[in-house]
Amino acid sequence: MKNLGILCLVVLCGCVSAMGNEWYATVNVPGQNSDWYNSLNWSLGHVPTASETAEWRYAAARTVYNPIVISGGTAVSAASTCSIWYSGTGNMTVTNGAVYTINGNLNLYNSASTALTGVNSELTINKGSKVNVVSTGASQIGRVMNPTLGARGQSTLNIDGAGTEFNLGGYLYLGWSTAAATQPTRMNVANGAVATFTTIGGLKMNPAGTNDAVINLAGGVINIAGNRTAEVTGWLSHPGWIIGYDGIGTVEFAYDSTKNVTSIWSVPEPATMGLLAVGLLTVLRRKN
């Protein structure tokens, strides 16, 4: 009987530690706001821990504070999941040098159990912040869980600004969908930001074979472990899968055998560079 009691206690503790911690910060509720670090915003009454999944599926509801903001400091969770149920966009912003470590997988997808249109999920990393996805498992961005209702949404990962990093240790499935969404899943890497995939073949483009994902490089770089030149060549053979500067730049890539890393970036078209130069010259003339 004593052993049975111990077993029950272990099972109970295991269930508690595996619970999701849901974002419940509601507008007009005293003490609640958009701050990740505010314990009153979470269903368990405290900020997510390293063993709890951060769930922000309600973030798009009109009555819930949105975006969720991690501003500075250090945040952590097990998995981080945005499974939007409501029309609108569920946003999380990691900013002002914050470091968010995800011990599990990162999942941005659309369940849409109640909404018919405009079901979106978006993660933005900027201003020298870092998101580190430690898990070696499969993360998904853009998966449509409910083809009937959720196919009208979009999932977006924005990585922007010098010193900003997105590091993933497992596999990122970008554009995982059994039914093509009306809006493509997007990963934007811009203005000096770097996205690094430390597992060989860690980035998967459109794994379901549908044209529902796009990578836009605008002054940012993607690094993938291993020699992935053949794979990248295949991606570039599909128009619109990887673009530079929203389609007006040239995408380039190279394999560094010393580092065993394949890098992808983009270069603005000469015409664009010329326009920038003219704009700069105009500014200088105005100053003079």
Q: What is the residue-averaged pLDDT of the chain?
A: 84
pLDDT surpasses 50 at 15: no
Can you give the pTM of this predicted structure?
0.86
Q: Per DSSP, what are the bridge partners of residue 83? A: 109
Q: Which are the contacts of 125, defined by CB distance < 8 A and separation ≥ 6?
A: 93, 94, 95, 131, 157, 158, 159, 160, 164, 165, 166, 193
What is the average per-residue pLDDT within 147-173?
Answer: 87
Task: Tabulate helix, strand, coil % of the chain (nearest 5).
Answer: 20, 40, 40
Sequence ranges of the domains in the chain: 2-287
Q: What percent of the chain has pLDDT over 70?
A: 77
For 103, the token pair is 């011990």
pLDDT digits (tens, 9 = 90+) for 116-132: 666 788 999 999 999 99
pLDDT value of position 10 = 34
pLDDT surpasses 80 at 210: no
pLDDT value of position 247 = 95
Higher-pLDDT residue of 274 and 111 is 111
What is the average per-residue pLDDT within 243-266?
Answer: 98
For 173, the token pair is 């499935």
Which region among 6-20, 44-58, 182-196 has the lowest average model confidence (pLDDT)?
Answer: 6-20
Residue 129, judged by CB atoms within 10 A of its CB (0-12, 13-18, 19+), counts as buried
Q: How confident is the model at residue 271 (pLDDT cuts 50, 70, 90)?
A: low
pLDDT value of position 191 = 98
pLDDT surpasses 70 at 67: yes
Q: How confident is the model at residue 287 (pLDDT cuts 50, 70, 90)?
A: very low
**Pairing state between β 261-268 and 242-244:** unpaired
pLDDT surpasses 70 at 216: yes
User: How many CA atoms are closer than 13 Å to the CA of 181, on its beta-carbon side?
Assistant: 36
Q: How far apart are CA 186 and CA 91, in angstroms?
A: 14
Q: How confident is the model at residue 8 (pLDDT cuts 50, 70, 90)?
A: very low
pLDDT value of position 31 = 97
Q: How confident is the model at residue 143 (pLDDT cuts 50, 70, 90)?
A: confident
